[in-house]
Chains A and B, each alone.
Chain A
């Protein structure tokens, strides 16, 4: 390719890169501007005085739907749903994936096919059944209810990821373990689990981002102080229409997006692997 062509390619791709950064950069800059400053100019601008107090306010003082607790309780709610659901669904997926691909049992391919169908089943088809199931087991409007949902649904992905990774472990290793008299759990902990870190990281990152970012179940099955942060953020954006406080609101958006962005920043390679694994299926 000629030199001018390479220069042009660099120009276009970097311009697009900056364009992709703009929306989030705007919000970060706004999170550091005062309400008056934003009202006087536009949403888009450079902070004149760095209003770091926006973050303190967004975190613990800001009012959402008559309760002035800031974003903090909702962030904790999201963490209290995301962390247990991620850990449990990953663990169950690893055991199931191992059982299906290496231990083998009657009906394994059949049940695997069925479980992975869950990847394609829209949430809307599960909404009414979950409503009644959660009500009957007394978990409606609880964080535990959301953990149950995300654990069971998450198994479709975690089982798929782990099974597809474990199939490449040679069966000879399994045979050797069986000859040594190792049972199901011993083989899992001694042989399979030590080989698993790469796929477990991919699975954990996948589950964490998806559950943290989930909105529909959060908004349907919880209200008020039980809501995860995605649901609270929508309430906050609607409530603000009366008294605009875009600085504080922008800080709230940054805070809500931060956990998954940090995961992406540090585990981008594994995040991408999850996306690819989910896509190739």
Chain B
């Protein structure tokens, strides 16, 4: 049966690579592998050494600042844009295309472009200085404390249109009867959104939230292109730590441990979401 081969061949390869590769990386994370894989089992030693490095600690702290800032501001910007565009705005199609176009370019391009704009010697700061406001400072990118916010800024620019598109689709699918009923009750525009429309939108918000968190946890390209993890290691994120261990220090055991830790953080988002979706489906089926 040739079709059996065509059906199972590619599917088995795709499925096997997911299962085997995950198991493989997990196994390596428990071994004394350095440049080459070694089969000597060392228990959690790689994990404890990764967790003890300054690199990981900074990356982990940064993940909360960056993840929190990126998700919150992307969501808020996306929601604001969606609500505004929902007001029968002239040129809606053009605007929607404008807000979504950053999603079509790579994080590398986004990072390079923003690294120029944020460079105090030639970007926004220089422009404002040249206009006559000599004291104006916008040098987050070279400031250890603020540099992580440049990644938030570029990330929000890239992803806000995505949040807008999904939320707008949600706004447009609200039951017209619900809105009419609220109008009859005399609800103003603000009450209409906060009390009637937004509460129906939360399943979409949760879906957007989960995708944005997934993006945040696996962020790599953007940081490499924008700050390279610097100044110093001030904008380190978990994905950069993984890469650093694996390919710059030649410690694949520790690199694998860092990758598994990163995956566990991601699962901390994905598993509750899957359970939540499952529970909702069950409830809908029972009702």
- A interface, CB within 8 angstroms of B: 1, 5-6, 9-10, 12-14, 16-17, 20-21, 23-24, 26-27, 30, 38, 41-45, 92, 95-96, 99, 103, 105, 111, 114-115, 117-118, 120-130, 132, 152-153, 155-156, 159, 183-185, 209, 212-216, 219-220, 230, 233-234, 237-238, 246, 253, 256-257, 260-261, 263-264, 268, 271-272, 275-276, 278-280
CA distance A101 to B97 in the complex (A): 33
Closest chain-B Cβ to A213's Cβ sits at a distance in Å of: 3
B287 at the interface (CB under 8 A from A): no
Chain B residues, Cβ within 8 Å of A246:
116, 122
Partner-contacting stretch, out of B44-52, B67-75, B98-106: B98-106
A105–B109 contact, CB under 8 A? no
B38 at the interface (CB under 8 A from A): no
User: What are 24 A-B contacts with C-beta separation under 8 Å?
Assistant: A12-B84, A17-B99, A23-B117, A26-B116, A42-B130, A43-B123, A43-B127, A120-B270, A125-B21, A127-B246, A127-B259, A129-B20, A129-B21, A184-B3, A184-B6, A184-B7, A213-B106, A215-B220, A216-B221, A233-B112, A257-B106, A275-B166, A279-B166, A279-B208
- Name A18's closest neighbour in chain B (CB-CB): B98
Instruction: Given A126-B21, A215-B220, decide whether A43 and B117 contact each other with a Cβ distance below 8 A.
Output: yes
B90–A264 contact, CB under 8 A? no
B247–A220 contact, CB under 8 A? yes
B266 at the interface (CB under 8 A from A): yes
* Additional pairs, 17, CB under 8 Å, beyond known A114-B15, A219-B224, A233-B225: A1-B189, A6-B87, A9-B84, A16-B81, A20-B98, A24-B101, A30-B116, A95-B7, A121-B22, A124-B243, A128-B246, A129-B25, A213-B108, A215-B220, A216-B243, A220-B243, A237-B225
A23–B157 contact, CB under 8 A? yes
- Selected contact of B14 from candidates A10, A155, A272, A278, CB within 8 Å: A155
Chain B residues, Cβ within 8 Å of A276:
165-166, 169
Closest chain-A Cβ to B137's Cβ sits at a distance in Å of: 15
B218 at the interface (CB under 8 A from A): yes
B108–A230 contact, CB under 8 A? yes
- Name B260's closest neighbour in chain A (CB-CB): A125
- Name B274's closest neighbour in chain A (CB-CB): A120
B19 at the interface (CB under 8 A from A): yes
B104–A185 contact, CB under 8 A? no
Taking CB atoms and an 8 Å cut-off, the chain B residues in 10-51 that contact chain A are 10-15, 17-22, 24-25, 28, 37
Chain B residues, Cβ within 8 Å of A280:
207
A120–B266 contact, CB under 8 A? yes
B22–A125 contact, CB under 8 A? yes
B122–A43 contact, CB under 8 A? yes
- Name A132's closest neighbour in chain B (CB-CB): B37
